[in-house]
């Protein structure tokens, strides 16, 4: 007898629900864990909501989503360029071997 796969349904929450959940923590004195238990959501999810919708979020979120994507892309490019630079430094200093032959400048 074969088992049928269990379909996991991802719950979605409205922005209003998320803001109300965050207000439990910020305005009514609940801890994140207490609020998560009361609402039946994961505490980490509630922390993410607090970062996005909380009091400090409005002060910190001065960059748009497009700017954040560009920043992430630039950080990746910066990381790649640093790696390339380090490789070139090693080649120039003679520390890299190619097919058993030490390359000297």
Q: How many domains does the chain have?
A: 2
Asked if residue 80 lies in contact with residue 86, where contact means CB atoms within 8 angstroms, the answer is no
CATH of the domain at 34: 1.10.10
Domain that holds residue 97: 63-105
Q: Are 36 and 43 in contact (CB under 8 A)?
A: yes
Q: Please list the pLDDT of the chain residue by residue as tens digits (105 residues).
A: 678 888 888 889 998 999 999 999 999 989 999 999 999 999 999 999 998 888 876 655 567 778 889 999 999 999 999 999 999 998 888 776 665 555 554
Residues 75 and 94 in one domain: yes
Q: Report the 10 Å Cβ neighbour count for 21.
A: 22
Region for residue 89 given its phi and psi (left: phi exceeds 0; alpha: psi -120 to 50; beta: otherwise) = alpha
Pair (101, 82) in one structural domain: yes
What pLDDT does residue 73 have? 96
Tokens of 61: 């979120």
pLDDT for the residue numbered 76: 96
Q: What is the pLDDT of residue 61?
A: 57
Instruction: Return the pLDDT at 32.
Output: 92
CA 96 to chain centre: 35
Whether this model's pTM surpasses 0.95: no
Q: Using DSSP, how many helices (H) and how many strands (E) does the chain show?
A: 5, 2
């Amino acid at each position: 007898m074969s088992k049928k796969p269990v379909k996991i349904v991802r719950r979605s929450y409205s922005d209003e629900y998320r803001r109300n959940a965050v207000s439990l923590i910020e305005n009514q004195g609940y801890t994140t864990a207490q609020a998560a238990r009361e609402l039946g959501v994961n505490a980490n999810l509630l922390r993410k909501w607090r970062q996005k919708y909380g009091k400090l979020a409005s002060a910190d979120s001065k960059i748009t989503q497009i700017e954040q994507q560009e920043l992430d892309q630039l950080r990746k490019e910066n990381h790649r360029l640093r790696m390339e630079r380090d490789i070139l430094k090693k080649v120039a200093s003679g520390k890299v071997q190619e097919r058993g032959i030490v390359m000297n400048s």
